[in-house]
Copies of this chain bind each other. A is one copy, B any other.
Amino acid sequence: MNAGRTARERARAELTDQIKAAARRQLATEGAERLSLRAISREMGMVSSALYRYFPSRDDLLTALIIDAYDALGAAAESAAAAKDDAHPSDIWLAVCAAVRDWARANPQEYALIYGSPVTGYKAPQTTVEPASRVPILMLGIVTRANTHGWLARLDNAPEPTGRLAEQVDVLAALAIGVPRRVLLRVAIVWTQLFGMISFELFGQLVGTMDPADDFFAEACKQMATFIGLRSNATVGF
């Protein structure tokens, strides 16, 4: 690559990456709450104040880690979808759901960083919304392709959103041309179910009942895929 012209710029980019790597390492073991700039600087053999040349504050480091986490999750989901490119949309959908869960289980602290409680007083900058929307956009794309191929159940009984809800659904409609609004509304519902279930698993809300959650997760994803019309009633009985 050699993107940076001068040696100084290259060194700076490399050190920035090293700091983020050390921060991620510490994130995995200590958690976002206990992430300490001084500990990072110790691990790197630097003095703490030197880190402020690269990240003006702890929050800026967190922002960088948040963006990286969204991108890593999005990349994992997208590659899972690409690996099943010629499969049935319902199988692609289920593969994406599984990939999201797998990534979350492999990187619980990074998942908590983006889908857990936000840090008070920390305002997520606008730069995070684009990487954050990779997974939803991917999911909408799967539904859109299923629809254009005529593989989407009609869901005639599903209620059509009206009023303000219809306007809100239209934001999704712009990314899913041709998909009926009643389906998009359900996609949004299923979207919240997916991440709610993963959060419950990771945050320990399932212990005593559905933990370990492998079977529960698989069955829930199947039923939710049917719920949005990706799987036919005949297939699974719904």
A183-217 contact mask (Cβ, 8 Å, vs B): 1 or 0: 00110110011111101100111001110000110
Q: Does A2 contact B (CB under 8 A)?
A: no
- Once the chains bind, are B117 and A112 in contact (CB under 8 Å)? yes
Contact A31/B121 with A165-B216, A165-B219, A219-B185 known, Cβ cut-off 8 Å: yes
Contact A204/B238 with A168-B215, A189-B220, A233-B157 known, Cβ cut-off 8 Å = no
CA distance A236 to B161 in the complex (A): 12
**CB contact between A196 and one of B119, B159, B165, B199 (< 8 Å): that residue:** B199
A116-B117, A165-B216, A196-B193 in contact; A209/B172 too (CB < 8 A)?
yes
Interface centre among A120, A216, A236 (most CB of B within 10 A): A120
Q: Which residues of B contact A236 (CB under 8 A)?
A: 159
Residue from the list B34, B109, B159, B220 in contact with A192, Cβ < 8 A: B220
Q: Counting chain B CB atoms within 10 Å of each CB, which of A119, A163, A210 scores highest? A: A210
Give the nearest-CB partner of A171 in chain B.
B209
Give A129 to B165 CA distance when docked, in angstroms: 36
Judge whether A151 is part of the interface by a CB distance below 8 angstroms. no
Q: Which chain B positions have C-beta within 8 A of A219?
A: 159, 161, 165, 185
Q: Are B30 and A159 in contact (CB under 8 A)?
A: no
A149 CB, min distance to chain B CBs, angstroms: 24
Question: What is the distance, in angstroms, from A184's C-beta to the closest C-beta of chain B?
Answer: 10
Q: Cβ of A109: which chain B residues have Cβ within 8 Å of it?
A: 120
